[in-house]
Amino acid sequence: MGLKLVIANKAYSSWSMRPWILMTAFGVAFEEIVVPLAREETRDDILRYSPTGKVPALIDGDTTIWDSLAICEYVADSFPQHAVWPRDKRARAVARSAAAEMHSSFQALRVQCPMNFRRVRKPVDFTPDTRADIARIEEIWAHARATFGAGGPFLFGAFSAADAMYAPVVNRLDVYDAPVAAQTRAYMRTMQETQAWKSWQAGANAEPWRIDKYENV
């Protein structure tokens, strides 16, 4: 019995994207189960797979992991041949710190700029709190690249769970046309040029579902 990853709409579900892009980038095979959001039956459908009624959830036989960051850790433990986290101890600690900060922070950016992979790029009037979130994200990325990024174009050189955790932010900064530094934009292009990103984008574009509260921002 293989892994099953339960996700929501690729256009909108930032938390779903994180483990999906991680597993796809590392070639970890899984069955994808999509539960569309904002339908009368959505919560009941998700509860068939996840005890929280939220996605994503990774199912491995009789074990269910129901949080994006926990799924990343489970994949790292299950597939040690892949450098899901950087091999270097210091880089790994910083990568986990950056991922944890993404997991718990940046509420202003999340609220003002919901992820939407189909949004036509156009700027918004960012609030001071959102601007502060963007500045902090740029600081995290710049520090990772300057300190640990010599081995490649991703945050810690090679692609890792840290990149997966920030993937939805790349979409947000792009489609809301955030005024970011050239090095930030270069990293964003690196992510957008990966095959995993392109596959997620294609899936989002093909979805028939639309949710007005995300489309009208």
pLDDT digits (tens, 9 = 90+) for 144-153: 999 999 999 9
198: pLDDT confidence band, cut at 50, 70 and 90? very high
**Domain region containing 133:** 89-198
96: pLDDT confidence band, cut at 50, 70 and 90? very high
pLDDT digits (tens, 9 = 90+) for 126-138: 999 999 999 999 9
Q: pTM above the 0.75 mark?
A: yes
Q: How far is CA 106 from CA 29, 45, 112, 173, 176, in A?
A: 31, 29, 10, 13, 15
**Residue 3, pLDDT score:** 98
In a domain, 217, yes or no: no
Number of domains in the chain: 2
In a domain, 212, yes or no: no
Residue 87 has pLDDT above 80, yes or no: yes
Structure tokens given for 71: 């799924």
Buried-state track 121-145, b at ≥16 Cβ within 10 A, e below 16: eeeeebeeebeebbeebbebbbebb
Given 38, 61, 82, which residue is the final one in a domain? 82
**In terms of domains, do 51 and 93 share one?**
no
CATH of the domain at 65: 3.40.30.10
**Residue 203, pLDDT score:** 98
1: pLDDT confidence band, cut at 50, 70 and 90? low
Residue 26 has pLDDT above 70, yes or no: yes
CATH of the domain at 192: 1.20.1050.10
Assign 66 to helix, strand or coil. Answer: coil
Mean pLDDT of 171-190: 98
Sign of CA dihedral 66, 75, 159, 95: positive
Mean pLDDT of 155-174: 98
pLDDT digits (tens, 9 = 90+) for 30-83: 999 999 999 999 999 999 999 999 999 999 999 999 999 999 999 999 999 999
In a domain, 211, yes or no: no
